[in-house]
Amino acid sequence: MQTANKLMSVRRDLRERDVRVVLVALIIAVATVATIALFASQLQRTLVSSASSFLAADRQLEAENGRPIPAEWLDEARERGLETGRMVEFSTMISGPEGFQMASIKAVSNEYPLRGEVEIQRQSPGGERETLAAGPRPGQVWINPRLLRLLDLDIGDTLQVGERQLEVAALLVREPDGGFRLSSLAPRVMMHVDDVESTGAVQEGSRVELVYLFAGAQTALDDYYQWLEPRLEPSHEWEGVREGETFSRSFDRAERFLLLGGSLAVLLAAVAVAVASRQYALAQRDTVALLKTLGLQGQGIGRLYLRRLALWGVAGVAGGLLVALPLFWLLVGVLGDALERPVEMHFDPAALLPALLTALVSLFAFAYPPIRRLRHVPAMRVLRAQPGETGRQALPDLAIALVAVFALVWLYAGELALVGALLGGLVLLLGILALLGLALMALLRRVRGGGNAWRLAFVGLYRHRQASLAQLSVFAMTIMLAAILILVRTSLLSDWQTQLPEDAPNHFLINIGPESVEQVSSFWQEHNAPLENLYPMVRGRLTELNGEPVKEAVSKDERINALNRELNLTWMDQLPEDNEIVQGQWFSGDETEGVSVEADLAQRLGLELGDRLTFTIGSARVTEPVVSIRTVQWDSMKPNFYVAFPPDGGLRDMPATWITSFYLPGEAKGALGEFSRQFPTVSVLEIDHIIERIQEIVGQVTQAIEAILALILAAALVVMAAVVSATLRDRQREGALIRTLGGRQSLLVRSTMLEFAVLGLLAGVLGVVAAEAAVYVLQARMFDGNFRWHWQVVLPLPLISAVLLAAFGRWQLRPVLSVSPMLLLRRLE
């Protein structure tokens, strides 16, 4: 058996084209899936650590009541291997040489920040920036640059915080946890937590927020939360990155895109492996017949090919990983470039499992079935060609392949909607293909040959109708998968870009008194930063739902943040542009009744139109029915409100302050100092750094998506090449014959290229139609976007596929044109 076994040395196998295709397909499958899985895990880690820096930790526990949490909670966390840290946040008056200013103080412990870095300047503005993973030392403060101007301070001066004098050691440019918190509306002063007591600023009854920081492994965090949850009081709030409204959607979408990409890579690879291994099996029939003639038994043949498959598997996995690892390394580099900071490479061996599984399933569900049937090849085939396989014999293969591929995609993406959309798209595609195939063949039958390239092309299509239909199916499928990916990517990216345009608001003005609204507005008008949407804001608590206390009316399992804190209520006559009514009607012009509620809150509270909500505002109570439910773009960087009243509605007599957000270019930031002096009571919230970070994250995700898209399109090209080369021999023989019979080279080239171009065009159109159908489902179910037609994106695809396939056709003909027909015919014997 040694020589028979030698038949399966990979080196020898490599001499066979079909084996090369199977191996290349396997390598690409393994490489794509492994790269995506590795990169997804890296990306997730990088994103989470970038985003964790928004919390300065992986998790925060906020105690809004200002009472410290029991010491044993922190001990428990440390015992579970978590790092912990502590912050105290409060507002207080500070003073310098030039008067007083309300400041929002953040006092941090030595461990701060557990994630991310603080950016400071040790010289006056314009000096060099410095990032470090620490807060100020005891006795020192870092302050918002605006305070320098407001209080006429310099670095090195002392600042009075309550009863304590602290040295201004640096300017605080960026803090890693620059979130929105009411206490942080005033300019920031960061100090050490040990100095808090000596300032005397925190007294019994002061409004203080204690924030505890936790960081560590995901599982340890989850376990700890399980332990902690039953002990939490209503005033405690456990916050993780994923709950942050601004970023979770970006994460989800990026993750889903990666999963989708991975699934499509699996599908493409499966198609390539299936096509190539079927070709291989067909080509192996003569060998099997000979081996049988020479005395090899059925079982021996089965073993021979099984071992061979196993060898391919090993070679495919090894080759795939050899491609994946440098690629992964490269992508991590790209990520680092995008982030302008080194990214720690995080190699997760578990991420290789899907790749191994893909190789295994590709081999045994796609490659094995046609090869398994080889043992039934009659020995008599050595003497006389036997009838080939019928389509019926291949049907069980198709069934096995379909089941396997969807099981694989499901396993890989864990997303039924995705599997459903892909399956739906494919079924639709196959249905159209069957109909179209019949119609096309009926049409093509009428074309008679002739010296014209077009006619020859159509005759060619008809003459190879079985191969043509098979190729059409595979091309259409490949194009469909590629189109899905391109479409999803395009809408994903454009969604993001519209979400955060260059001039997205980057400053909030809060606490504008009714009497200053006009002046504030004209101040910014003069400074070329007009305010667009000014909203009145009334703070109130939602206390009753249909007359019942709201905490009893809502299930206890639902921890709803909106119920734990005061809500920002507003009145408005126009629905904001980016809001959308999902139920009910927006207020009519002179409406005096009702409220409009944000959709997620309404869902969590189980609200329906007509439910009566009671708000407690100061000492007053307002009860109004729900008249509409609307969606809100939380990440729009504009003021957003859970609850809106009509202008003459329930809030009309309530004292309100106004809020707005606007875009202020970096070079115009100097105006802020003047503004603060003119309007000392108005709070300015600078979120330009947050926006920068969000744009950075979107940039990161975009880069990753583009890289993965490129990988998958490469896989698609290999599939196409595999399928085209499946009929290589026949085509070349035919080409040689045509030339022998006196056909001109140019005619041969033109007709072949036309034939493939027609095939490509058809496949392109079909693929695009099926892709639109699949994207329709995907967008609605997975990317919660509204479906739009994407003709401008997909229209070029059929043309590209026509050109591409024409090029493939030309490439196929190469040997036919460069070698004498006789030599070629002999070689093909």
Partner 1 sequence: MNQMTDLTGNQSHPMLRVSDLGHRVNLETDTLTILQGVNLEINRGESVAIVGRSGSGKTTLLGLLAGLDTPSEGVVELDGAQISKLSEDERARLRASRVGFVFQSFQLLPALSALENVMLPLELAGIEAPEKRARELLERVGLGERLGHTPRQLSGGEQQRVAIARAFASDPVILFADEPTGNLDNRTGKAVSDLLMELNREQGTTLVMVTHDEHLAARCGRQLHIEAGILTEPEAAREQAS
Cα–Cα distance measured from residue 262 to residue 21, given in angstroms and rounded to the nearest whole number: 20
Alpha helices in 741-820 (DSSP H): 745-781, 791-794, 796-818
For residue 113, whether the previous peptide bond is cis, meaning omega lies within 30 degrees of 0, is yes
Binding to partner 1 by residue 294, rule CB under 8 A?
A: yes
Dist CA 129 CA 126 (whole Å): 8
Quick one: which segment of 85-93, 297-305, 618-626, 633-641 binds partner 1 (CB under 8 A)?
297-305
Token pair for residue 619? 């000492």
For partner 1, which residue of 81, 200, 333, 378 counts as binding (CB under 8 A)?
378
Among the listed ranges 376-384, 414-422, 511-519, 813-821, the one in contact with partner 1 (CB under 8 A) is 376-384
Where does this chain touch partner 1 (CB under 8 A) — which range of 86-94, 294-302, 456-464, 789-797? 294-302
Three-state DSSP state, 290: helix
Count of chain residues binding partner 1 (CB under 8 A): 28
Near partner 1 by CB under 8 A: residue from 13, 175, 177, 755: 13
> What Cα–Cα distance (Å) separates residue 454 from each residue in 96, 660, 747, 758?
87, 66, 10, 10
Number of CB atoms found within 10 A of residue 391's CB: 9
CB of 346 to partner 1, least distance (A): 43
Q: Which contiguous run of DSSP H or E holds residue 396?
A: helix 391-413
- Near partner 1 by CB under 8 A, which window of 3-11, 52-60, 428-436, 722-730? 3-11
Q: Return the range that interacts with partner 1 (CB under 8 A); candidates 100-108, 187-195, 373-381, 395-403.
A: 373-381
- Is the Cβ of residue 385 or residue 398 nearer to partner 1 in the bound state? 385
Choose one: 74-82, 284-292, 540-548, 661-669; the region binding partner 1 (CB under 8 A): 284-292
User: Is position 823 an interface residue for partner 1 (rule: CB under 8 A)?
Assistant: no
Does residue 292 interact with partner 1 by CB under 8 A? yes
299 binds partner 1 (CB under 8 A): yes
Assess 825 for contact with partner 1 (CB under 8 A): no
Which residues are CB-neighbours of 37 under 8 A, at least 6 positions away?
Answer: 262, 351, 352, 353, 354, 355
- Cβ 298 to partner 1 shortest distance, Å: 6
Is the alpha carbon torsion for 565, 571, 573, 574 positive or negative?
A: negative
User: How many other C-beta atoms are found inside a 10 Å radius of the C-beta of residue 171?
Assistant: 23
In the complex with partner 1, which residue's Cβ is closer, 98 or 286? 286
Q: Residue 226 or residue 299: which is nearer to partner 1 going by CB?
A: 299
Helix (H), strand (E) at residue 208: strand 208-215
Residues facing 85 on adjacent strands: 213
d(CA 511, CA 681): 7
Residues 781-799, buried b or exposed e (16+ Cβ, 10 A)? ebbebeeeebeebbeebbe
Q: Any contact of residue 382 with partner 1 (CB under 8 A)?
A: yes
Site for partner 1 in 512-551 (CB under 8 A): none
371 belongs to the binding site for partner 1 (CB under 8 A):
no
CB contact at 8 A, 624 and 595: yes
- Please tell me whether residue 15 binds partner 1 under the rule CB under 8 A: yes
Distance CA 642, CA 638 (A): 13
Tell me if 41 contacts partner 1 by CB under 8 A. no
- b/e per residue, 73-95, with b = 16+ CB within 10 A? bbeebeebebebbbbbbbbbebe
Which CB, 13 or 119, lies closer to partner 1?
13
Residue 287 contacts partner 1 per CB under 8 A = yes
Least distance between partner 1 and beta carbon 220 (Å) = 55
Stretch that binds partner 1, among 64-72, 215-223, 382-390, 683-691 (CB under 8 A): 382-390
* The length of the chain, given as a count of residues: 829
610 touching partner 1, by CB under 8 A: no
Q: Which stretch binds partner 1 (CB under 8 A): 283-291, 326-334, 705-713, 744-752?
A: 283-291
**Shortest CB 318 distance to partner 1, Å:** 21
Choose between 45 and 303: whose C-beta lies nearer to partner 1.
303
- Closer by beta carbon to partner 1, 299 or else 619: 299
> What are the residues whose beta carbons fall under 8 Å from the beta carbon of 441, sequence distance 6 or more?
462, 465, 469
Say if residues 171 and 125 touch (Cβ distance below 8 Å).
yes
Q: What are phi and psi of 423, to 5 degrees?
A: -60, -45
Q: Does 828 bind partner 1 (CB under 8 A)?
A: no
From the number of C-beta atoms within 10 Å of its C-beta (0-12, 13-18, 19+), residue 229 rates as exposed
In the complex, least distance from residue 299 CB atom to partner 1, rounded to whole angstroms: 7
- Least separation in angstroms between CB 394 and partner 1: 21
Helices in 464-559 by DSSP H: which ranges? 465-499, 517-526, 550-553
Q: Which residue, 284 or 636, is less far from partner 1 as judged by CB?
A: 284
Q: For residue 384, state whether it binds partner 1 (rule: CB under 8 A).
A: yes
Measured CA to CA, the distance from residue 673 to residue 148 in angstroms comes to 9
- Position 4 contacts partner 1 (CB under 8 A): yes
Question: Does the protein bind partner 1 through residue 390 (CB under 8 A)?
Answer: no
317: enclosing H helix or E strand: helix 298-339
Q: Please, what is the minimum distance in Å from the beta carbon of residue 9 to partner 1?
A: 9
Smallest gap from Cβ 376 to partner 1, in A, equals: 10
**Kind plus residue range of the DSSP H or E element containing 83:** strand 83-96
CB of 384 to partner 1, least distance (A): 6
Q: Which residues contact partner 1 (rule: CB under 8 A)?
A: 1-4, 6-7, 12-13, 15-16, 286-287, 290-299, 378-380, 382-384
